[in-house]
Amino acid sequence: MKNQTIVNKLYEEALKARENAYAPYSKYKVGAALLTEDDEIITGCNVENASYGLTICAERNAIFSAVARGKTKFKSLLVVAEGEGLAKPCGACRQVMNEFGDFDVYLANTKGDIEKSTVSELLPKSFGPKDL
């Protein structure tokens, strides 16, 4: 698949996953679509909890689902949320992404705006497995 076709497919899948988000407190629904090294797309959505510390973001949900399936090498991830601005992964998500390498990360909104970044751009001067 061409890169733009992949990004479009990731966007569609992330939008679908976003519909399943459980966000009764923030009302901020987020979807993520992760492309594995073997071209499987694994999705995730945010799931909130009354005990906020137990909430999981869409990005980590997708990555942890991939790991549960034995997938640990990723090509790209797209994250989408509603709003004028683009969805941006939190610090915890950025650190989890960094654990699995420097892959492309697409930040998007439900209006169709998409911006390409990378894990290393989102988390400069990071530390991870390579540092241990």
Name the binding residues for substrate.
Answer: 46-52
Binding residues: 46-52, 57, 90, 93
Identify which of 67, 5, 2 has the alpha carbon closest to the alpha carbon of residue 34.
67
The catalytic position among 12, 19, 59, 99 is 59
Angle CA(2)–CA(109)–CA(97) in degrees, nearest 5? 70
Contacts of 8 (CB under 8 A, 6+ apart): none
Q: What is the DSSP string of 45-87?
A: E-B--SSGGG-B-HHHHHHHHHHHTT---EEEEEEEESSSS--
- Is 59 considered catalytic here? yes
Answer whether 94's CB lies under 8 Å from 103's CB: no
User: Which residues are known catalytic residues?
Assistant: 59
